[in-house]
Every structure is written in structure tokens, then in C-alpha cells.
Structure 1
Amino acid sequence: MSGGKRRRDFEEDDGYRDFRPRMPKRQRVPPVVQLCKEMMPDIKTIGESVKAFDDDIKFLSEAIINEFDNEEYFRDALLNTFYAVVTEQPQKQAAIALLTMTVNAGNPIAGKSILNFFFSKLQNWCDATIDETFEAAANETGPWNKIKLITRFLSLLSPIVLEDELLSLYRKIFDLCVLLNDLGGEKRVPLSEAIYFNMLVNIPYLFFFQKQNESLTDAVFDLLSFVESNYKVKSTDLSLTKEYNGKMPYISQQLVQMVFPAVKRVLGHDMQQLIELFPDYDRLLVEQQNMHAFNDPLNLPAVERLRLFSGLDRGFGSVDGMWKTPRTSFKVYLPSTAGDFETVVPVNTYAGMLLNDIIIDIVEGMEFNRREVARQVITLDLFFKPGIFAEPGLSIAQLVSLYEENPIITTYKIEDLAIENILSLIFKLPNVSQSFAYFYTLLVEICQNSPKAIAPVFGRAFRFFYGNLDNLDMELKLRYLDWFSIQMSNFGFSWKWNEWEADVVKFGPSFYNPRVALIKNLIRKELRLTSNRPDVEDSLTDEFKQYLDTSYVPRTDLLAFYQSFFTGFSIEEDMLKDNDLLFKQGVIPGSAYVLRLLDYFHKQPLDRNVSEIEAIFKEMQDEFNSQIPNFNRFAVTVIAQALVYSGNRSLSHANKYIGDAKNELQEFLSKIDSPDEIKERWIVEAVLRFWNSNSQNGYLIADTFKNNDIISCESILSFSLLDDNGRNWGLVDATAIESTFRILSELALRKQTSVKTYAFVYERCLQLLAETAAGLGVSEDEEIKSPIIDDETMMDLPSELPKLDLIWKYEAILGLLKSILRKYSDEFVLMQDKLITECQNNLSHHPTQALLTKWIEELVML
């Protein structure tokens, strides 16, 4: 190179390689896009930093005032971000409203545009309430819930919206609510109750920024007077949806009955309660020169058109759907026994109702972002007046100490409030709003974010449900079992088992005691959740290690089952091996033929013919007829277990073997000279005995036989609910109960026109109730109740345990029947009259008759 230093050209063969990544040329991001990338996340997190809040309002409002009129891209991004925050994180609505009003003071056109945008959204959701094609996504809370949230936001904007406009909006919606309610006569109208609650809980937000507005106050009290005079609150007692059978651990109240008094109280006494609840943003509220009206009147659907949707049973959204049945208060954290104080804001106060409502909206509306939900619900206190909640993370012991020193301090814990509301969704009856996996993993996430603060909160909930287990609804016992076991698996199976030792000592010999049954099911479930058995073993105290045996039936029963096939040959206990085929062991009569059968099932399906199976069993019978007296039962059992053994590596493996052999098995069974019902019973028994150490697998594989039309639903249900010397595993074993629900749920999902399987379960439960009542020897009018077991009655417990076990059995049957009637109400309501007739004809015990009749009559309300 001339005129300068010579540049060397580096080539790869000179030993040089350029390791710089080959990046595409960076495209220049338009300034408006960059602005949105910087601003929108700040809007989404507004209010999360209390110290930065004033500056955020100032800087964000200035940017919006300057940019709103310039770029459509910016306007769209801003409005959509506002809408997302308002509907998904309602605790931040006041901050967005303050931001909007600050913008309005500097740019009235922008303020009006924001108002118009939300009003158009409100109209769109009003139109959607009668849209028969509307399909709700998992995070869709529902049109009426969206109307609630948007109306709440518009109420916050009262300083820039003409008073008459807002009051007219409320009056129109309440008029519709009253008309809907009147259409139902004396019966509750779910949609009317939802609107009534939603609008009432919004009214105090009209005063968030103007608590001293006398004309607004007068107008609102006139509106409330109209509502009080014209809306008839109906009390509907639905025992089928109560979380507890018998005595409740707390007084449950319906939201629709509590909301009006709570709103009146919060607006009374110069709104002192409201001042103590809402944060004071008045210092940031700039003077408004521009008041706005809505462009058009709100167009609400005609009441006759809404009548079709008034039952809220069309799947419009998770929160709207919660109003299908009466919404009642749900409590876990009752006043502390160590110090008589509440840790959760009382639900009959406006603050309690509002906070619960917001948490549920966050949990349901942001289902797509579990991590964000976990963060938001635990920091909810940031968006309300400081001092409502105690310092986060304080233990109950610390609270007790502080409370004793100063009884006027707050004892409310934000952790308790958040967890209680999530548990209310997990334990929601009749239906849960989201998948259980979402709620369970959400709780795991919350705990992982702050284990020292949250783990004790979970522990108190575990103890509460365990302490009230005797009366807890059977379906909820299964949900409790699932939640507990999942949390334990995430806590390394660490639990203070010694707390429950006394119950095992007292009731260990019992088969039906609900606490012993839960402990057994819990340990078995934990063993299924881990591949490292010692993790569970090491967590248990000696008293509980007796339950590490996961056998469905005791080994003695299993031994008797296999011995029943043979005469003149003894089955020894050491021959029984988990998940193995006993009949192929060399010492067993006919084992060589069983090995041939296994070889047959390992052939390709095209290379097989059922005649080979028939030949194998014909030769076996000829040789061992004297040692195998009931050869039909033996043959069905062996062929079923041979198939299960062939596919015992996994469920998919089992499905393949059973599916491939379907036609051969059906043909072989058709030639067995025994009733179909008996043959199917043999198959179910064969499968469950093979998988005796893991009955969950057994029931799932029985489902595969059912799904391949080899056995019926009734054969599995009948086996589960079989009374075997007074023991009925279908009433206490979680895998058996889950199997019952799974079978009935699959039928419901297919929308089977036949209800015979449901009738079968109902009739079987009636039979069990009649037999158990007779066994107790009670008179026709005598109540059957568990006695209170205290120190005085403990002396007689051993002699009374057999009778107590029968009472617990009776309660278990009732619990199962209640859950089944509720869970499959659409099917049972089709035979309502028949159910009542059968109850009266087959049960002579009058209190049980009356209870079942009440449940059956309630089916139409579910």
C-alpha cells in the first residue's frame, strides 16, 4: 500500500480465524417504537414502587401529553396497555385513573380519547353478554366481570366526567338488574346477583378522588335508596355446594346479602372507612378545567334477551361462572387461638369484599402469567392505605406478642389474605374455575418467592383442613390430599407428622376413620410422587411407617386370592412379588402354558390367531383340571394378568398390548360359559390384584380394558364399591374414589344419552346406606352422628370403635353420594323423580331419606 503502513491480509490458512459473530445489520428502531418499549413496561408496573410513584405520574403524563396527538402507533399501544392493566391488575386502576386525569389537564383531547376508548370497550362487552358464539379463553373472566372492571375505572374518573353521565350509567345497569331479578320470582337469578354485587362494590370508587363532593354524595345515596327499595335479595340455601357436611367451622354468609350493608357503612360517617382504605393521591391531583360526557348513551341488552343467559351456565368466563350458584364466604384463617384477633380482613366489610374481589380477578385474569400473579397478590397492600396490613412476613407468635403490647395494632396479614383466596378457588364447589395444576403451581411459586413467610401460612391451612376433616366434603378431601402432597413434594416431604400421631394411636384399627384414611392416602400419594422412596420414609415418624406399605388389599387377602384358584397346591407368601405374574413361576400348576401365552402376546398381531389361545387353555385344563376347580375364572384371570404383565413397563405399553389383543380377547371371552357380568368382575379383580402395590396403575389399566369395550363401566364401579367383610375401598381409598369420578366424568364429557351408569352408582350407594343403617341398629327416626370423642369417652373407645367405624362408613357413603350428585347434576336431574322414589322405597331411615330428597331437589339449581 502506498502512502501508509502496509496492511496485512489475514487469511484462514495463515493460522488466523475471525471469531466475531456474523450479526445481521441492526435495523434502526423508529423513535415511537423505542418510546413505547420504554414507557409501556413502566405503565404496567405503576404503583409497585411507592417512592417512585410521584415521579412516575409526572414523567409518564408529560410524555403522553406530548406524544398522544403525534403517532397512531403510540396511541394504540398506550390505550391497549391501559386496558390490560385496568382489566388484569385492578389494584392499579386508581394509578391509571390519576395518570389519565393528569393527562387530561394538559391535553383534554387525549383525556377525552382515553374516556371514549374505555366507554367503547364497555359497550362492546355489553354487546357480548348476549353473543351466543362467544368463546371464553382460560384467562377470560367474563363479559359482566369486564363490565364491572371498566365501570370501576370510569368511576375513578369522576373528577373529569359529568356527574349525571356516571349516575345515569349506574341507574341503567341497576334498572336492568332489578328487572332480571323480578323475572325469577322467588327463585334467585344468578346474573342479577352478579350485576348487583359488581355495581355495588364499584360505587365507593366514585369518591376515590372527591370524598367531599356533596352533590355526588346526595345523588349516590338516592341511587342506593332506589336499589334498596327495588331489589329483593333472595336467600338460597344450597346444601349440595357447602364445603362441609354437618357443622361448619365458621358462619358462612352469601356475598349478595353482605354487599349492600357494607357499602352503606363505608360511605357513612363522612366516609371515614373509605379514607382509611384508599391511598391518598389528592396531592397529585391537578385542577381540572375540562369535564367530559360520553359520546353515546350506553346500549344495554333487553331483559328478555338476557333471560336466556341469566343462569350464567354458558361458559362465558371464570368469574362470571362463579355466580351460577350462590357465592358464599370461605375461611381458612380463623381468629388465632393464641390471641383472639383476625389475620384476614373480615369478609362482611367493604374492604374485605373488595380485596377478595381484586385478588380473584388477578388470579383469574392473569392465568397466562403465573409468576406475575404470584408477585402481585402478595404485594397488594402497596395499593391501599399504609397500615391496613401488618409488616409482611410476621409470624403469628410475633403478632401475638405485638398485639398483647398494643391491642389496637393491625393484625391483618397480606399473606393470609392472598392464600385464603387462592384456596377458595381450589375448594370452589360445584366446579373449579381453572385447572388444579394452575392453582397448585401458583401456590408453589408464591412459597418459593418467600419460603420463610409463606411456608408457615401453608402449615396453618394444612392444620385447619385436617382439624375439620371429619365434616369436609368428600371431593374437597381429594383436593386437599392433592394440594398437601404436591406442596410436600416441593418441600422435600418435610412435615411435622408427630402432630397427628395421637389420631393414629386412637383410631389406627379403624378402616373408615377419615383422618386415618387421609394419612394412608397421603403417604401413598407421596410415594407415587417421588422415585426416591427414602425421602418419604425419612420424613415419617415411627408411628406412621406402618403406612409405607402401599398394598391396595393386605397381603393376607392377596395370598387368599391366589390360593382360591388351586386345590391341593399351596401358594406361599414369598411367591408374591410386586408387579409380577405369579402364574408364570415354575412351581405353579400350568406355568409352562402361561409362558406360551406370554410368547403369543409378544408376536405381531398379524401373526396371531385366537385359536392358539384356545388351544393353550384347552391343554392346560386337560392337564390340571383337578387342581384348578373353577377353570373359567382361572382362565379369565390368567389371560387378563398376562396382558397386564406384558405391558407393565408403562401405561402406554399396557394400552398397546390390550388394544392389540382386543378382538382376540373379546372372542375368547365370548366362549367362556359364564355371565358377562361375572367375567368382567374377574378381569377387574385380576388387574387390581396384579397392581396391588400401585392401585392407581391398576385402575388406569382397568380403564383401558373399559375403553376397548372388553369390560363395562359398571364392572369397575361395582368392584370399587364392593363390601368385603365390612371393608369398602371405594369409600376410603383415593385411587378407587378417583376412578369412580374419572369414569363418570368421561361419560359426562361424551354427553352420553344413557344415564344407566349414574343410576347404577346411586342405587349402589342407597344399598350401602340401608345396610349400614341396619348394622347400626338405629330406629327409623334416629339421627346418625359421630359422637364427640374427648378424654371422658377415650376410656370406652376400644369397645366403641366397631360402632364408630360403621358411623364413619355411613358418613363416607353420604359424602360420596353428595359429591356425585353435585358433580353430575346434569345427568341426575334427568331422573329426578325416579331418584326420589327409589330413595323412599329402598331406605327406611327417615333422616337419610330427608337429606337425600333435599339434595335431589337442589339438582335443578346447579
Structure 2
Amino acid sequence: MDPTRSNGDQAMQVDQFGRAVRRPGHGHRNKPYDRPGNRPGGGYRGGRGGGRYNNSRPTAQDLHRVEVEELEKRLTSLIIKIGDKLGSGLAFNLEALAGVLVKDYDAHSTVVLRAFQGVVTELPMKTETYATLVGLLNVRQPAIARAVVDMAWEQLVGCAREYRRWKVVKLWLRFFALLVPVRAITAATFVELLGEFTNAVLRDDPELQDPKRADALLYTVAITLPYVGRELQVQTPAEFEALLGNLHAYARRPNSRPRPEILTAFPGLPDNFTSTVQAQLPAPYYQYQTNPFGYVMDRLAQLAARQWETPLVHRTYLGFSEALQAAEPIDIPLAALSLPAPSNPYILAAAPEEADAETAEVPLTTNPGETLSAQIQPLQAALRAGYASKSRYGHVIPTPWVPVVADPDPERLVEHFLVYDLILDITDIFHVNRRDAATFLVNLPGYLPESIWCRPATATETTTDGQDDPMAETTPAKVGETAPPLAVDQMVVGALFSRLFELPTPPHKAVYYAALAIELCKLSGDRMLPGIAATVTRLFRTLPCAVPWTHLTPETAVADDDAGSTPAALELVARDPTASVAWDAECVHRLADWFAMYLSNCGYTWKWTEWAPVLTSCQPASPALVFTREVLYKCIRLSYFDRVKITVPDDLQSVVLPPVSLEPQFRYRNAAGEPAVDADGNPLLPEPVREFAAELINHLQRKESVESLQAFIEAAYGTTLAGIPVAELRPIATAAAGVYAQSAAAALGQPGHQPALEDLATEANALPRVVRDVFVQTILYLGSKSFSHMLNVIERYLPLLQRFSTDSAAKLHIVEIVNEFWVYNPQFVTIIIDKLLNYRVVDPTAVIAWALNPLRLTFEYPAPFYVWEILRNTVHKIESRIVQIERRLTNQRALLGSNNGGGGGTESIIHTVDPSLAETIARLEATLSGLRLEQKELLLSLFQSFVALLSQLLRECSANGVDPTTYAPYLWIEGRYREFIRTYHGGVKRLATTLETIVFTNDLNPQIINVFREALSL
């Protein structure tokens, strides 16, 4: 082969294979997949994908854009990171950052303003640092400070007036409060601003007010005063005293609508707590739980007695006192606020768009299309459908903390509450990123002055020259007089559980609080693991078990002492372990789910041996035993049976674990083999039923058509199954109901008496129930390999399943069969019933009848938690469908109005637009009307069943002379009744007249009616 080839006037060197030989300096080292010809888009230097010559080279515009973006990221990062550490270097860093902002603000004003917007609302532990920065900017470049203050004012007004995001309003008010000491705004202006909030409440008739909104307005004012009280007392004493007087007057108002008992998040209080403990021991938790606003005002009075001195405010601005004196305060257009009165009909109406407004951000007028850097997570208020009155205020008033650690020292109550409020803010703000939330919580002591963890200095402690030194650290008192310091780790754990137990619903999904606890342990296991373990133990010890805790080992006692001394609220429990403690049933359920998720990330290991003596001695329905059983069942769902079993002591396994693995209980497993017999040698299945089951299994395994199976089943009625005595059919026809009635005992492998079920299998329905049992169990067995198998077989024979569920009794029977088949695997029961609801094989009424059947009262074990999960999912499914249809209907109506130009009546619109759009709206309206009717029937059926069960239990207690408050079956059912009526109190209010006429009649026991009345007040 010629080593050279001609190509016009040029010669190209080739090797012996005809490949071009690259000349020195013209080769490339790219990988084959990275060569120019293999670029995305194809072609050499762009090739088939198009593009210009050397299109990979950035242009000058590209370079400039990248440079600007990098600069903006650096600016945002500098603003975010300032104040991460307190110390002598903070003042220098603030001056340096102020210089950078003065230099670059004009070119990047929108980025700077959005950064300030983000840090104030999402980094509340550094608000004082950012206020000081604004003060320095007001000295160097007043225009920048004015722009920041104008932005903050725009956000405050928007949140307060238009969106009513009160928690964000609280954060902006704190920012404005800390602008007073740096002379960015005057004290008189700020007092007048706070007066707008108080006047919106006090100028209105108390009888017409919405108490929740009034509390939210005034709480935002009260919780702001500790950060600025010292300045207001000196600069505007008269106005400040008048403001405090208004707040105290509101706190002293007669509480015409007390806190409903059904919202007691963490009971944990003995029945006689008020009379025996409150008078003897300080009980801040109890005081705050009963009157939150009154408790806050007591703390303000305590702070006023200290001349508004608190170590929580580190007063960094004092290092710039001379420079700040030259600043000119910024005016605020207070007239733009004009808050509506709490009795405003629009405020009370809970408009449908209110939930969307709660989560919306107030746009900046500078550039509404620009977004904040990804380094700042957006603040999103957590809402739940049906809780408009609660969510409307963004959970601004903190949940009562869980009293599982010692009550704070009386001198620490102010700082304790402010730090607790700060912890809740961080937990809520960063719910979108649990790792960031855990990081900020673990590092929280670094954002606060060290003196916050020491006893505040007395008024007589001064500097060596006799002058007060405001920048010096507060001096601890003598060792013998030192008050216990605040333990931030314990406060974080207490705040986490307080949110978990918030009723009627936590601000965020329950899984977030388990994930947050896990992240806290990962970041600081030496600090958080002992505290969480001790807290769980304390909570478990408050669960009624009627067994003294005398088995605690010395090691356990030491660990318990390390977690803090017994709080006052649990003092009686410590003295008398058998003291009656009122636990809410839903809170026990939440704690069990949380603990199981927590254990799933800790290797499922726990010191069960310490709990074993109590659990093995508990009554079957005691909350302590029920809680432990449900924790392990949830662990099995998160893992597998054998993995969890090896972590449980042998003597405890028979008490809290199922006796076998989670295999399905298929009654006709051996239908084609030798007949199954009982202990006495009698066949468990009549021979005709066994033959029918064997033939049906063969037909289904061959995947025969629905028509073929239908013909086979109809023929079997007259051939194989004809003439079977009812007495032989009754055990099979009622087997599913029998397991249903004692499902808790079956799950534990405990023997129990069989309730009377003869009425379920009569001459007319015994054989149809048996055929239904055989068919449904076989369908479940063929799909038992996996969820995908289950869905496939259900969809394949869906028409037959629907024919087997023609009436309410048949639908209830199908639910019972599913529960019996997967009695050891609640996860499958939950998922399959949910799918059958979607396929309309069963309906919500059947699920209610299954969950609240009176047969459940014939056994001593309470219903497993998965029963209530299924019931709650069933009720919620209809609510979610209503919300979806309403949203679609709103969108279609908006489209209809836009097509008509927004004018004319409804009839003219329908005649001038596409008829298909009008048909869609009419169809959606009909669907919505049907769903609302279905929801009405569902709620009526739900509460009728609850009332029937509770009335029956109360009659039994009265006949037997038993106190219902000590009778476990009544307590569990009554607790679930409280759960559902407060969860769906929105629907209860809408149907109040109907419910009062049909369900909650005057002849009912007052204990039942009182809960209904409390739900109407939510």
C-alpha cells in the first residue's frame, strides 16, 4: 500500500492500514467517547447537531455572566455566614461585610435584598447580627439601609395583611425590634408599630373576636418585647407602659372559651395533679398548657423586674456605639399596615384560597421573577386540609413542651421560653432539609452568648471601676448559689416531642421528627443519644401498667439521673408508679410509630430486658404493653420478622411478638391433598367445600377467563356444593369474623373465647359466604408473592370480585376475609383494603363497620393500631378527592371566565364558549355533589358507630359498678373517638345540625356529647 495518497495539491501520510498519520503537535489526548466527533448532538465540531465553529469556546458575554453569578453567590454566602460564631472577630467581620455591600450593592441590589429576606426569615438565631449590619449600613450608606428596611416593611405588611403568615410576622417584628438599638428606626416608631397590633384586638368587641387570631396578634407582640424592652423602657417609658398595660389587660380577660380538653397534646399528668402538685411545686408546663398567653405575660413581668436584662441578647451593636449615634433613623409608613379587626368576616370565613396564601411568598417589588440563592431553603408553613383555623396562624404560639426533663429554674424561665421558641422556629423552617435542621440545632449554643447557660448577673455586679460594662460576659453567682444552667440538648429533645404530640395535627409529617432525631444522633451521638434514650424511657414509664418500677438497675438509674431530675409534672409518677396518667390514644400511636422508625436506624437494638418485668406483668390492654407490641410490629414492617425477633429477649417474645412469621393464613392450602383435621381428628373442611376449593384453585392457576370462572361457580351451587348442612358451613362462613373480632389476640398467638357468630350464617347466606370466602382467599393466595402479583390478580378478576360485593354485608365480609388472611402481616391488610376501595370492591361504610363492629368489644385486647390507620386513610381518601375536584372546578371556572372576558352572567358565558368546557364544569359539579353526599354519609356512619360502642361500654360499666375512666376497653375506644372528631372537626362543623339531630342527641351520656361540643369550638 502506497504510504502517501494525493488529495488535490496536498499529501496525507497514512499507515499500512490506510489510517491517517497525525503530524506532531496536531494530535489529541481525548478519550474515544470524548473526541470532537462524539459530542452530544453529533458531528465533528457540532456536526449534525449544528452550532458554530469552535462552539465550545465561551464568549465574552458568557464569561461576564459567569463572573456576575459567582460574585452574587459570594455576596449571598457572605451574608448567610456572618455571625456563625460569636466572639471578638464578629465586629471586624461586620465592618468588612458592610464595606463589601457598600461597594457592590448598586450592581447587585436584588441579590442583596433577597439574601436579607432569606436570612431574617430562615436564620432567626442570627437576627441581631443582621440588624447590627443594617445599622452599620445606615451609617455608611443610608440608601442601602433604607432599601433593606423598605423590603422588610413590605414583607411584614404583606404577611400580616394579605397572607396572615403570623409566624413570619413574628420574625420580621423581631428584626424591626433589633433595629431600634442600632438607631435604624426610633423607639417611638416601633412602639407605634406594636400598637397597630394591639389596637386591632382591643378596639373590637371581645364577643365578636376570633380568639385564635387575637392570641396570634398579641403573642407576636409579647414575644418581641424581650429583645427591645430595655431600649423602650428608657426612650419611650410612657408609651411602653401603656403597651404593657394593654397586653396585661388582655391576659386578664375572662377566658370565655378555654382550651378544649381534646387538644391536650401530652397528658402525662396524674388525675389529681392540680390539687397535689401545683400548690407544692413550680409547674411552668402546666401553667403554659392551660393559659399560654398568660404564661408569656408572667415571663414579661419577670423580665421587667430585671430591668429587661437578659443574656440572650448579646448586644453586638455596643461595639459600634459612637458610630451608630451619627445615624439618621429611617421612617416607616405605618399607615400602610392598618390591620383588620379580628372580627372581620373575611378573616373568620376561612376562605378556600387561604391555604395557598399561607405558603406563598410575598414578592419583592425590585424583581419578582428572580429567586433566592439555592443556599437558602424557602420557609414553608405546614398546612393540613381541614385545619384552616389552626394552620391560618402558622403555629405561631408554641406547643407546650413535653415535661420529661426537670422544669427550668425560676430564674431561667424567661430564657428557657425564648430558646424553646427559637428551637421550634428552626425545626419548622428547615423541615424541607432535616440535615440542616439538625446541624443548626446541634450548633445552637454557638449562636447564643455563653452567658445564656449561666445564671444572670445580679444588679449589683459591676466592673472593677464601678461602671457597668455592657459588653462584658455576665458573671455567674457564687458556686453555692448557681442556678442549674439551661441544657440545650434536653430542650431540643423536648421540643421535638412537643411537635410530635401536637394536636390535632403536627405542623409536619410525623416521619420528619423521627428523621430529625436520627440526624441529631448522627451529628452528635454523645450528646443526643443518651437524652433521647432517657426521654423514651421516661415516656414509657408514664404509660399505665400498674406495676412498680422496682426492677431498675443502678446503671439505668444513673442514666436517668443524667437526663435531669424528675419534672414537677411527673413528680407523682416518680413517687407512685401506679398513679393514674391520662395518655391520649393518638399520642401513644404517634410515639409507637416514631420509636419504631428511630429503632430502624439504630439496628433495632434496645434494652428490652429493663422493660420485660413490667411487660410480662401488664394487663393485655394496658398502654405499656400495647405500645411495645405496636413498636415491634412497626419494626417488623420496616424490616423483617427474624431480624427483629433476635433483638427481643426470649421471655418477652411470647408477649409482644406474633408466634409465627408473617405468612398468609390460607385456609384451603391443602384442598387438593389430604384433608386437614383438627386436634380431635375431625376434618376442618367439609368434603364438598374441599373439592370446590381444589377445582377453583386449578381454574385460577390456569388463568381462565372471567366468564369461564363465573360459569364454574354458578354450576357448583347446584352440583358440588348442593345439600351441605348449615351446621357444617357455619364455621367457615363465620371464620373471618371470628378472627376479626379477636385480631389482636390472633396476632399475639393468644387463645381467646369465640364470640357468638351464629347470626352471621343463616340458612339463606351461609353457602354464599363460604363461596365468597373460598374465592377471595384464593385470589389473595395467588397474589401473595408480592404487591405486583396482588395487583395483577385483583385486576384480572375484578369483575368477579365486584359481583361478590353486591351489598353491604358482602363488602364487610370481604374486608374480614382480607384481615383474616393477612392477620400476621398488617402491612398487606392496609394496602389491599386501600386498593379494594379504589376498585370499588368495598366501600368506606364497610371499613367503618369492620373497624367499629361491636364484636370487637367481646375480647379483652384493643384493636391493633393498623385498624385505625386503615379507618383514617378511608376517611381521608374522600376528603382528598373532594379537594382535588374543588381545585379542578376552580381552574375550569377561571378558564370559563377568561374565555368570556370576565363579563356577563353564568348563562351567557355557557352560550358563548366551547360547549365541552361547560360540560366539564357540569360533570365536575355533579361529581363534587356526589362526593360531598358520600362524605356526609361516611361521617354520619362513623360517629354513629362510635356513639353506639361508647354507649354500650358505658352501660356495661354502670351495670357492673366500674369507673369508665379506669376501664381499658372504654379508654381505647373513647381515645379514638376523640382522635377522629378533632381530626375532622371541619366536616363536623359543616354537619353540626345534622349530627346533633341524628347522632348526638340529648339523651346521650354527657361524656360523649361534651367531646362533640369541644370539636365544634375548634
Q: Which interval holds the TM-score relative to the shorter structure?
A: 0.7 to 0.9
Once the two structures are TM-superposed, the CA of residue 727 in structure 1 deviates from its matched residue by 4.7
Give the TM-score normalised by structure 1: 0.80
Q: Which residue of 2 aligns with 1:511?
A: 620
Once the two structures are TM-superposed, the CA of residue 443 in structure 1 deviates from its matched residue by 1.9
Distance, in Å, in 2 between the alignment partners of 1:390 and 1:513 is: 43
The counterpart of 1:707, out of the listed 838, 844, 866, is 838
Correspondence 1:88-167 to 2 at 5 A? 88-129=122-163, 143-158=165-180, 159-167=183-191
Helix, strand or coil at the partner of 2:290: coil
Once the two structures are TM-superposed, the CA of residue 622 in structure 1 deviates from its matched residue by 4.5
Distance, in Å, in 2 between the alignment partners of 1:16 and 1:838 is: 84
Helix, strand or coil at the partner of 2:431: coil
For residue 214 of structure 2, what is the amino acid of its counterpart?
S
Q: Say if 1:195 and 1:22 are closer, same or farther in 2 by CA, change over 3 A.
A: farther
Q: Say if 1:819 and 1:826 are closer, same or farther in 2 by CA, change over 3 A.
A: same
Distance, in Å, in 1 between the alignment partners of 2:404 and 2:595 is: 19
Identity, in percent, stands at 17
Distance, in Å, in 2 between the alignment partners of 1:324 and 1:120 is: 19
Pairing 1:331–2:331 present: no
Q: Which residue of 1 aligns with 2:1007?
A: 851
Q: Say if 1:618 and 1:653 are closer, same or farther in 2 by CA, change over 3 A.
A: farther
Once the two structures are TM-superposed, the CA of residue 225 in structure 1 deviates from its matched residue by 2.2
8 Å contact kept, 2:662–2:825: no
The counterpart of 1:620, out of the listed 720, 727, 735, is 720
8 Å contact kept, 2:398–2:424: no
Q: Which residue of 2 aligns with 1:168?
A: 192
Pairing 1:430–2:504 present: yes
Helix, strand or coil at the partner of 2:842: coil
8 Å contact kept, 1:517–1:732: no
For residue 457 of structure 1, what is the amino acid of its counterpart?
G
Pairing 1:82–2:116 present: yes
8 Å contact kept, 1:244–1:472: yes
8 Å contact kept, 1:279–1:386: no
Distance, in Å, in 2 between the alignment partners of 1:821 and 1:234 is: 27
Pairing 1:486–2:593 present: no
Once the two structures are TM-superposed, the CA of residue 62 in structure 1 deviates from its matched residue by 1.3
Correspondence 1:252-331 to 2 at 5 A? 252-272=289-309, 274-275=310-311, 277-285=313-321, 286-289=323-326, 290-295=328-333, 297-303=335-341, 306-310=344-348, 314-315=354-355, 316=358, 318=381, 321=391, 323=393, 330-331=400-401
For residue 148 of structure 1, what is the amino acid of its counterpart?
K
Q: Say if 1:486 and 1:219 are closer, same or farther in 2 by CA, change over 3 A.
A: same
Give the TM-score normalised by structure 2: 0.68
Unaligned runs of at least 5 residues, structure 1: 1-7, 130-141, 337-341, 392-401, 576-581, 671-675, 787-806, 844-848
Correspondence 1:64-79 to 2 at 5 A? 64-68=101-105, 70-71=106-107, 74-79=108-113
Q: Which residue of 1 aligns with 2:850?
A: 719
Helix, strand or coil at the partner of 1:388: helix
Once the two structures are TM-superposed, the CA of residue 827 in structure 1 deviates from its matched residue by 2.9
8 Å contact kept, 1:160–1:288: no
For residue 94 of structure 2, what is the amino acid of its counterpart?
I
Distance, in Å, in 2 between the alignment partners of 1:347 and 1:636 is: 70
Q: Which residue of 1 aligns with 2:488?
A: 414
8 Å contact kept, 1:390–1:413: no
Q: Which residue of 1 aligns with 2:697?
A: 595
Summarize deviations over 1:89-137 as a string: whole Å, max 9, x none: 11111000111111211112222222222122223323423xxxxxxxx
Once the two structures are TM-superposed, the CA of residue 648 in structure 1 deviates from its matched residue by 1.9
Q: Say if 1:770 and 1:78 are closer, same or farther in 2 by CA, change over 3 A.
A: same
For residue 516 of structure 1, what is the amino acid of its counterpart?
L
Distance, in Å, in 1 between the alignment partners of 2:250 and 2:773 is: 69
Summarize deviations over 1:427-477 as a string: whole Å, max 9, x none: 110122222232221222122111221111211221232222342211111
Pairing 1:55–2:235 present: no
Distance, in Å, in 1 between the alignment partners of 2:938 and 2:693 is: 38
Distance, in Å, in 1 between the alignment partners of 2:510 and 2:499 is: 9
Q: Which residue of 1 aligns with 2:964?
A: 784
Q: Which residue of 2 aligns with 1:691?
A: 822
Once the two structures are TM-superposed, the CA of residue 169 in structure 1 deviates from its matched residue by 1.3
Once the two structures are TM-superposed, the CA of residue 358 in structure 1 deviates from its matched residue by 2.1
Q: Which residue of 1 aligns with 2:646?
A: 538
Helix, strand or coil at the partner of 2:451: coil
8 Å contact kept, 2:259–2:290: no
Correspondence 1:169-568 to 2 at 5 A? 169-180=193-204, 182-185=205-208, 189-207=211-229, 210=231, 214-229=234-249, 233=253, 235=255, 236-243=258-265, 247=270, 251=286, 252-272=289-309, 274-275=310-311, 277-285=313-321, 286-289=323-326, 290-295=328-333, 297-303=335-341, 306-310=344-348, 314-315=354-355, 316=358, 318=381, 321=391, 323=393, 330-336=400-406, 342=407, 349-389=413-453, 408-470=482-544, 471-507=582-618, 510-531=619-640, 533-547=641-655, 549-550=657-658
8 Å contact kept, 2:811–2:843: yes
Helix, strand or coil at the partner of 2:203: helix
Distance, in Å, in 2 between the alignment partners of 1:382 and 1:311 is: 44
For residue 650 of structure 1, what is the amino acid of its counterpart?
S
Q: Say if 1:32 and 1:595 are closer, same or farther in 2 by CA, change over 3 A.
A: closer
Q: Say if 1:283 and 1:727 are closer, same or farther in 2 by CA, change over 3 A.
A: farther
For residue 216 of structure 1, what is the amino acid of its counterpart?
T
Summarize deviations over 1:20-44 as a string: whole Å, max 9, x none: 9779446534655433322321221
Unaligned runs of at least 5 residues, structure 2: 1-19, 37-55, 274-284, 360-380, 383-389, 456-475, 545-581, 731-765, 883-931
Once the two structures are TM-superposed, the CA of residue 143 in structure 1 deviates from its matched residue by 2.1
Distance, in Å, in 1 between the alignment partners of 2:449 and 2:972 is: 47
Once the two structures are overlaid, the 10-residue window that deviates more, 628-637 or 767-776, is 767-776
8 Å contact kept, 1:680–1:715: yes
8 Å contact kept, 1:497–1:540: yes
Once the two structures are TM-superposed, the CA of residue 404 in structure 1 deviates from its matched residue by 14
8 Å contact kept, 1:593–1:616: no
Q: Say if 1:197 and 1:253 are closer, same or farther in 2 by CA, change over 3 A.
A: same
**CA-based RMSD:** 4.1
For residue 362 of structure 1, what is the amino acid of its counterpart?
I
Once the two structures are TM-superposed, the CA of residue 536 in structure 1 deviates from its matched residue by 1.7
8 Å contact kept, 1:233–1:257: no
Distance, in Å, in 1 between the alignment partners of 2:333 and 2:23 is: 71
Q: Say if 1:726 and 1:270 are closer, same or farther in 2 by CA, change over 3 A.
A: closer
8 Å contact kept, 1:233–1:256: no
8 Å contact kept, 2:621–2:860: no
Q: Say if 1:403 and 1:283 are closer, same or farther in 2 by CA, change over 3 A.
A: closer
Once the two structures are TM-superposed, the CA of residue 592 in structure 1 deviates from its matched residue by 2.9
Pairing 1:43–2:79 present: yes
Once the two structures are TM-superposed, the CA of residue 603 in structure 1 deviates from its matched residue by 4.4
For residue 303 of structure 2, what is the amino acid of its counterpart?
V
Helix, strand or coil at the partner of 1:621: coil
Q: Which residue of 1 aligns with 2:981?
A: 821
Once the two structures are TM-superposed, the CA of residue 638 in structure 1 deviates from its matched residue by 1.0
Once the two structures are TM-superposed, the CA of residue 736 in structure 1 deviates from its matched residue by 1.2
8 Å contact kept, 1:190–1:325: no
Once the two structures are overlaid, the 10-residue window that deviates more, 142-151 or 519-528, is 142-151
Q: Which residue of 1 aligns with 2:768?
A: 632
Correspondence 1:17-36 to 2 at 5 A? 17-19=29-31, 24-25=56-57, 27-29=62-64, 32-36=68-72
Distance, in Å, in 1 between the alignment partners of 2:169 and 2:298 is: 23
Moved over 6 A (4+): 11-16, 20-23, 345-348, 402-405, 551-555, 582-587, 623-627
Q: Which residue of 2 aligns with 1:397?
A: none
